[in-house]
Structure 1
């Protein structure tokens, strides 16, 4: 693929060359939400998306979803996300999940949760490119040392799990160019094309976006859920579950207030004391009913950029145009 495919040469990066995409944006895996409808929309929009394997715990269901995504993607590339957190994919089944993905002919995988080192032989033997997502640069350095192909570093601003270090995206990006030799992406709080342009100028090969895409038309979630995100701002997130070293940034609601209070009053409460509030099954109901008052609903500071429901391709087009506008300003200033 040559740079003639791109609107601007700066979009010709290891990310777009590796994936065969138009814009160096990755739509990271979203638990319960990153299904074939959403991921194929990303593929058609010219970015990379990943089906969340943990949403399809049975191998046959995952195979069916991969095939459905292939049919909907019009020949464009897509991948599968595997979170290796034990609560999502039991350790004894993780290797089987990777084998299922390989058997389906998928060539791109996003891993997260813990080191993928033990599973890299399975993936490499199948010719699969591995993007490993980490919450801190120090883990990216480790992932590089064990042989992943690319890393994405999500900063403290991200929805979901920002880790315990809580380093912001701008600092991560500034340090990554010094400490990494493999291609890297930056995530956390990304919702404008100008941020994509800035990341590329800083040495990133692309960006990871999650929260900004939660209002995509193709995302299978209740309109009330999406409207709640539109009504929210960058001020409407909360950090919880820090006491169990599993910090999560999510939409501020009754559940986050309860959990924060429980952790404040009893720092030794443990995951069992929190589970009835933070269970994924509770949060999943919001996607079906639109009631966002309960559950841990991952959302980051990029809520400030969420403004309307529209096709994912339109959101990507706006990001691309904004990035090109930012580059034009940069060139004019120079």
Structure 2
């Protein structure tokens, strides 16, 4: 068995001075300076989503705003990399901007970040690479990333094509990885955090659970719709083009599923009129959740009210403490 660093001696987490072992996963359109700085002040690590600010000056301004509001606490930037050779590929330029602004950590996803690791490491930037399964985490470890986030089948957004659950990812990480790893996908309760730590993870990734934080700028009707939803109110779409997304079930997911069942030779161009990110952004703005691909995971069933992020984290902490109190009853038991 490979020795695993626990939370208490995990250099990556301790370096950032976190008070809870939580990464707040990047949320497209929603992870702005107000939300991410709230994460920083609350003692968890959040990430501005670079893709939400396609103009360099906008992204630079958002990073600087976040820095001014974070009270000196660290935060990161999420860089979702486009496929290779796509016209307009700007990953290197975005990463250089991040370096120039003194950001200490990036969350990469979408493809292998190996080509960009030298420039990031030379600048002292830590790299946490997000993957949907442990086999990809092993490859990320080999190329030299500092840590990995493994987001399982339950997650909102992109769970991968193999649909491996978080419990399995967590224990495979213990057996197969040497670098710190974080487990995401359906995480929305403090007891899950304790379970992940017990299985060897250095922390958890939470996205959906935080969508009802008051610091998220989205319309209150959007948040109320999430609260009204249950763990079964998500849908998987876009598997036909090997880009599976888990989202809140609505008219758009129904339409896309119908197209995927009835048509052959589907391409991204076939689905784009329904799945364009701009449609989802309108839902956040207006509160009309009937249209758009609104990423949401199965932790929907754990969301009960709109409240400040700090209060949500307090709840998670209490739940974690309750979980720890339940453990002593097994100390003398034989399993």
TM-score band by shorter chain is: over 0.9
Q: State the partner residue of 1:243.
A: 240
Match for 1:313 among 304, 310, 314?
310
Instruction: Judge conservation of contact 1:222–1:289 (CA < 8 Å) in 2.
Output: yes
CA deviation string 1:222-263 (max 9, x = no partner): 000000000000010000000000000000000000000100
CA deviation string 1:157-204 (max 9, x = no partner): 000000101000001111110110000000000000000000000000
Q: Secondary structure at the match of 1:186?
A: strand
State the TM-score, normalizing by the size of structure 2.
Answer: 0.94
Match for 1:59 among 52, 56, 61?
56
Q: Where in structure 2 are the equivalents of 1:40-189 lying within 5 Å?
A: 40-86=37-83, 92-189=89-186
Q: State the partner residue of 2:201.
A: 204
Q: Secondary structure at the match of 1:131?
A: strand
CA distance 1:241–1:270, shift in 2 (3 Å):
same
Instruction: Judge conservation of contact 2:252–2:292 (CA < 8 Å) in 1.
Output: yes
Instruction: Judge conservation of contact 2:247–2:296 (CA < 8 Å) in 1.
Output: yes
Q: Secondary structure at the match of 1:235?
A: coil
Instruction: Judge conservation of contact 1:13–1:24 (CA < 8 Å) in 2.
Output: no
Separation in structure 1 between the aligned mates of residue 198 and residue 324 of structure 2, nearest angstrom: 9
Structure 2, unaligned runs of 5 or more: 1-5
Give the C-alpha shift of residue 270 in structure 1: 1.3
CA distance 1:83–1:90, shift in 2 (3 Å):
farther
Structure 1, unaligned runs of 5 or more: 1-8
Give the C-alpha shift of residue 324 in structure 1: 1.7
Q: State the partner residue of 1:30.
A: 27
Q: Which moved more, 1:273-282 or 1:319-328?
A: 319-328
Separation in structure 2 between the aligned mates of residue 235 and residue 263 of structure 1, nearest angstrom: 21
Q: State the partner residue of 2:227.
A: 230
Give the C-alpha shift of residue 278 in structure 1: 0.5
CA distance 1:236–1:145, shift in 2 (3 Å):
same
Match for 2:281 among 280, 284, 289?
284
Task: Name the count of aligned residue pairs.
Answer: 325
Separation in structure 2 between the aligned mates of residue 121 and residue 257 of structure 1, nearest angstrom: 44
Separation in structure 2 between the aligned mates of residue 320 and residue 53 of structure 1, nearest angstrom: 29
Matching of residue 269 in structure 1 with residue 266 in structure 2 = yes
Instruction: Judge conservation of contact 1:162–1:249 (CA < 8 Å) in 2.
Output: yes
Separation in structure 1 between the aligned mates of residue 184 and residue 251 of structure 2, nearest angstrom: 27
Q: State the partner residue of 2:254.
A: 257
Separation in structure 1 between the aligned mates of residue 264 and residue 227 of structure 2, nearest angstrom: 33
CA deviation string 1:262-286 (max 9, x = no partner): 0000132211111100000111101
What is the Cα-based RMSD across aligned positions, in Å?
1.5
Separation in structure 1 between the aligned mates of residue 108 and residue 87 of structure 2, nearest angstrom: 14
Q: Secondary structure at the match of 1:26?
A: strand
CA distance 1:85–1:184, shift in 2 (3 Å):
same
Q: State the partner residue of 2:13.
A: 16
State the TM-score, normalizing by the size of structure 1.
Answer: 0.95
Q: State the partner residue of 1:327.
A: 324
Give the C-alpha shift of residue 216 in structure 1: 0.4
